Structure formats: C-alpha cells, structure tokens
Structure 1
Amino acid sequence: MACLPGALPALALRRWLGLGVFMLLCLSLGYALEKKVVKSKVGEKVFLPCCHEIPSSDSLQNYRVYWQKNTTEVVLAYAEGKKMPQQERYENRTGMDVRNLTLWISPVEILDNGPYQCVVQHRKHSQNSVVVCDETVTLFVTADFSKPNVTVEKRFKTCESTVMVVSCSSHGGFPKPKISGALNNVSVVWNTSSVSKSSLGLYNVTGQLWLNVTKDVSFTCSVEYNGFLKSTSLLLKNKNDCVVPTVPPSYNVITASSIIIIIFLLAITLAAKYLPRHVCSHCCKPQDSVEEDVKESMKPPVSSKVTRETSSV
C-alpha cells in the first residue's frame, strides 16, 4: 500500500507521454496526407512533390526517376540523367527539378486530374538499382463555372399573380456541380435540372423552375463545386397594372332605355306641336280687336242730361 502514492504519478506520466506521441503521429499523418493532394485550376502551373531529394553530393546520373499517371501513362522519366520517351500529350508542358524531383505541369488540363506516382531508383557504382522512393500524389483539377445566367419567361398573367418560368444555366466547369435555387433565401426544388459533360471533360448545368408570383420576390441561383460557389440574384416583379373593364349593360336594360328615350322625344314633339295653339285660342285676341277696345275705353261717358232729353223727345 505504501507504493501506491509513488506509482500514481508514474502511471499518469506514461499516459501523458502516450497521448503526446499519438498526437504527433496524427499531426505527421495529417501533414503527409496533405502533401499527397495538390489542387490546381485549369490553365495554371502546378507542382507535384516527389518523396525523395538527391543530395548535393550525388547526381541525377545515378538515379532512375519515373513519374507516371494511373501506373500506365509515362508523364516524365529519367534514366542515368537522360530523358526517356513520354506520352505525347505531356510533351512540351512538363518538367522536373533535378534535385527534389518535383514534377511541374503547365498549363493544367481537365484530363490531368488524377493520381501520379513518383518512383525513384538509386544505383551505386556497379550495384543493382534499389528503390528508395515510391509514393503517390493526387492532383485535383478544378475549372471555374461561368456566372449563373438567369432568364425569366412570363407564361400567364392575371391582376393578382403572374406565372413565370425561371431558368438558370452555367457552363465550362469542373468537377460535377450542384445547382440550387432560393426565393427570399428559402431553398426551392427545381422542376427540372440536368448536367451534361463536354468532350473536354467540362460540365454544363441547367435548372428550371415554375413560379406563381403574387408579389415581388428575390430569386437566387447558385452553382457549387469543390468548395467554390457562384451565384446570381434577380428580382421577380409582379406588376399589378390591370384595368377593371366596364361591364356592358344587358340586352333588357338597353331595350328599356331605348323605349324611355323614344317616349320622351315623342312627348316633347307633341307638346311643341299642340300646346301653343291651345293657349292662343283662349287667351289671345287679334291686334285690331285690341285697338278697338282701347279706343272704346278712352271715350268720355254720356251725361244724364242728354239721356233725359232723348227720353222726352
């Protein structure tokens, strides 16, 4: 029991040492894996590291170096310091550093995508060649897609909404992309989408969406590939410029209105024809009668004396 206090720190120390070694191994493995993958874009110049470096005290004449792709295509090779035949498509666009044996390719093409193997053999004096290095590095090639092109076609319109067909397309990229759409930052599912591949290995992608737009909304099309993202946004407007048409009167209303107008015109015509005659026959006199009545009223009255004389005679 007396040994327990001293044993516990030793056990803890061992655990810490084991954990430290494990972390170093993980970091070393991660670094090695990171070195084995090289990313490049179409048209760039890329460098692929080899697993061996020739010391300054030695020379390329004592080595055989093979850079091959998919273990079948000879990309670049040297034997005793002399360049060996290679695949035709790698001619004039590949090279190698004579010390660290790094392979460079320029310009990079889509077909260059894939694993490359560096094999190094060393021969000392008259001894047989010994493999001192055999390692694979993967070249991951990408090509930028064009900025998504968004077009809108209006199929049907009412005063409340507009039916639109929204199309999005992008081309000339690698690797195979993922196309997505969003309305006001909310993801939508394409009605139709397609991805095609050209003879050069480049991808073209399209998507089509049917929408019933009742108000202005923002549409975004995005193309994602190998961690890269390209997007285009467009405001879809539902312009409410409808004019409510005037409802024509019914046949019965037109008929009734016509009858009323005709009766009204007949009434005016009859009134104009008969009403003036009726008034003149009762209220008006000829001009001569009026003048006689005036003269008669202006005569002096006959005196009573004259009247008595007349009576006596």
Structure 2
Amino acid sequence: MGTGDSTMGPGIILVLMTLLYSGAAYLKSEAYFNETAELPCQFLNSQNLSLNELVIFWQDQKKLVLYEFFLGKENLNNVDPKYMHRTSFDQSNWTLRLHRAQIKDKGIYQCIIHHKSPTGLVSIHQKDSELSLFANFTEPEIVQMSNVTGNSGINLTCSSEQGYPKATKMYFLLKFENSTELEYDGVIQTSQDNGTELYNISISSYVPYPDGMSNVTIFCVLKMKAMKSREWEFLSKPFYRVPSHPLPVAHQPSWITAASLITGIFLCGMTYFLWKKKKKQRAVLSNKETTRMEKEKNEGIEERVKIHVPESNDKEVQYT
C-alpha cells in the first residue's frame, strides 16, 4: 500500500477499533413506558461513505437484532420477532427509534456498522448505549380505614399504581393551621405486574394528632427516581380532618353572626307576608261564597212565589 493510497489497511483498522473499544463509554438513553426510545449510534462518517456500501444494525444484550440496513435497503430477515415493526431508522443522525418501549426493553444496545470492501465486510464502528425506562405513578389516593377515635388520630391508607422504577419513599404529611408540618411513615407494601413489570405501592398508618390541634390537612407523598437523575414528588389530593363537634357561637367571627341574624329576620318577614296574603285570599273567597249563596236563596224564593200566588187578572171559573 503506497503512501498516497487512502484505503485503510487491516492493521490500521484493527488499531482504530482497539482505540474505539478501549475508550468506549455507554451512551445514556431514557424513555417513558409505551413511548418512543432513541438508540444513538454517533457515527461521524468523516469519509462520507454511501449507505449503499454500509451494513448498519442494532442488537440487544442477548445479540437479538432490532434492525438492519443492508447496503442501502432495510433487511427484515435477521430481525427478531419481538422487535418486528417497532423500529425506524433516522438516517440524518444515525439513530434508531424503538417504538412502544416496554420496561423489559431496558438494557444495553449496540450499534454496529460494517463497510463493504473488495475483500468483504469490515467493521468500522461500534457504539454501546444503555436504555432506561420510566413510568409515572398515578396520583396517590388516601382512604380512611376507620372512624376518627375522638380527637386522638385516624387510620389511613394510601395507594398509587403503574409506576417504574420502585418508589423511593412514601409517607403521610400533616399540615396544621399554625403552619406546623409533621411526617408519618407506615407499613409499605409493593407489588409488580408480571406482564408490564410496573409497580403498585401502598402505605397504611395510624396518624395521631398532637394535643391542641384539631384542624389538619393530610397529604400522601410519593417520591420516585425520574429522568436525568432527578427525584419527583407526587402529592395526593388534600384529606381534611375537622373537629368532631361544632365550634361554640362565641368563637365564630362577628360577620357570620350578623349574616345569620339578617337571614333569620328576612325569613321571618317572608313568612309573615305569605301568611297575610293567604289570609286575605281566604277572606275574599269566603265573601264570594256568601254572596253566591244569598243570590241562590233569593232566586229560589222568587220561583216559589211565581208558582203559588195567583195573578190579579185571572178569570173566574165557570161551572156547567
């Protein structure tokens, strides 16, 4: 091979691949459950090689092929059935997209590129990436397990579902009127779905109330690891606990007392008005009924007079 020959020799390729492998580090890739994951290859293609002279494929840690692009064409013959019709190749950035990612898809993937030379296929690039999967838990839900025992405390349970990875912490948070906050742990139970591998979690606890504090808002807090090494915190809807007996009237604000008094006066006035109106209506109806009865009585008397009293111009009856 001459000094002006630009073709790589086997020795140079071997050294290059050794450097690539020795300095290789996993690329980090993250995706949400049931969404699209990206598996990068990071091939620079500094020699502007044509896709028609390259064989590009991705394989998982079990050496199962996800996708293969063979000399300018997709080749499905070597693709494992679990990945069939779940991938697409973005040629602009040398990235493979894995659609409908499942928890079981997490792990190490390899992008491998071969170049077709006169002597056969030569490996020119390999890059490993680690895929992590996440799924947000549902909003935690608090359920009261028994009635309040006086003012001493309450039995509660809280649950959340369909998350990944495992929650790092779950507890009850009490917030009082004077801005005091208290945390209470409990018995945590975790289960995993055999199909989706998503986690369900619940916590049960007896939550006591400090002396002299009756009005309290309770939250259920769930913490989990999220993308980019962050920790997310999920809160339940507030669960309110109020005193088991009504507040004395003397403790009620003055505007509530005034509003109650005005409302009472208004209702009394409306009641009296309606009673007077109904009384007047009954009086009118009674007068009308009396007038009608007197009219009928007079008409009856007139009829009887017409029948039994003879007229003054009647002729004398003749007998033969």
Report the TM-score, using the length of structure 1 for normalisation: 0.59
- Whether the 8 Å CA contact 2:184–2:207 is kept in 1: the answer is no
Matches of 2:59 and 2:48, distance apart in 1: 27
Percent identical: 21
Please list, as runs of the form range in 1=range in 2, the aligned pairs for 1:48-63 lying within 5 A after superposition. 48-54=39-45, 57-63=48-54
CA separation of 1:104/1:91 partners in 2, compared to 1, >3 Å: closer, same or farther?
A: same
- Mark the structure with the bigger radius of gyration: 1
Counterpart in the other structure of 2:215? 216
1:56 deviates by 8.3
1:53 deviates by 4.2
The DSSP-based 3-state class of the residue aligned with 1:157 is coil
Q: What letter is aligned with 2:144? A: V
Please list, as runs of the form range in 1=range in 2, the aligned pairs for 1:91-240 lying within 5 A after superposition. 91-98=84-91, 100-124=93-117, 126-155=118-147, 157-158=149-150, 161-178=151-168, 179-184=170-175, 185-190=181-186, 192-198=187-193, 199-213=195-209, 215-226=214-225, 227-240=231-244
The structure carrying a bigger helix percent of its residues is 1
Matches of 2:93 and 2:190, distance apart in 1: 41
The DSSP-based 3-state class of the residue aligned with 1:123 is strand
The DSSP-based 3-state class of the residue aligned with 2:59 is strand
Q: Does 1:37 align with 2:28?
A: yes
Counterpart in the other structure of 2:260? none
1:143 deviates by 1.0
1:145 deviates by 0.9
Q: Residue by residue, what CA displacement relative to the aligned partner does 1:35-84 show, whole Å, maximum 9, x if unpaired?
A: 81122212322322103144684322322222011142211123333414
Matches of 2:93 and 2:207, distance apart in 1: 59
Matches of 2:125 and 2:165, distance apart in 1: 31
Q: Residue by residue, what CA displacement relative to the aligned partner does 1:182-215 show, whole Å, maximum 9, x if unpaired?
A: 223332221x111111021111000011123352
Structure 1: gaps spanning 5 or more residues: 1-31, 243-313
The DSSP-based 3-state class of the residue aligned with 2:236 is strand
The DSSP-based 3-state class of the residue aligned with 2:138 is coil
The DSSP-based 3-state class of the residue aligned with 1:61 is helix
Q: What letter is aligned with 1:147? A: E
The DSSP-based 3-state class of the residue aligned with 2:146 is strand
1:233 deviates by 4.6
Please list, as runs of the form range in 1=range in 2, the aligned pairs for 1:216-295 lying within 5 A after superposition. 216-226=215-225, 227-241=231-245
Report the TM-score, using the length of structure 2 for normalisation: 0.58
Q: Residue by residue, what CA displacement relative to the aligned partner does 1:273-308 show, whole Å, maximum 9, x if unpaired?
A: xxxxxxxxxxxxxxxxxxxxxxxxxxxxxxxxxxxx
**4+ long deviations beyond 4 Å:** 53-57
1:238 deviates by 4.7
